[in-house]
Amino acid sequence: MFKKKDIIICLGSSCFARGNKELMNIISKYLRQKNLSGKVSFRGDHCFEKCCEGPNLKIGNKIYHGVNKENIIDYLMEGLKDELQ
């Protein structure tokens, strides 16, 4: 059965305050632009318990650390390369 890839953004207070609030909008916009809503499930979750490495984002099984406005698109392209084909 086809399973959507999960993108989970940490919305714990540390990651949220350090940029994930803004990254949520960037990710949503990217998924819309690339027409990926049928292939990807995007949601927020509680603290990943890796606050000092944050802001954190999980794509599939991989956790990306230190995510920011400059690297987020590269991480999305890498994490969603199968979905983007």
Task: Establish if 56 lies at the interface with ligand FES (CB under 6 A).
Answer: yes
Partner residues linked to 67 by β-bridges: none
Task: Establish if 68 lies at the interface with ligand FES (CB under 6 A).
Answer: no
Helix (H) or strand (E) holding 62: strand 62-64
51-57-60 Cα angle (round to 5): 130
Task: Establish if 51 lies at the interface with ligand FES (CB under 6 A).
Answer: yes
Task: Establish if 59 lies at the interface with ligand FES (CB under 6 A).
Answer: no
Nearer to ligand FES, 19 or 60 (CB): 19
Residue that has been written with the tokens 């990306």 in this structure: 64
Residues that bind ligand FES (CB under 6 A): 10, 12-15, 47-51, 54, 56
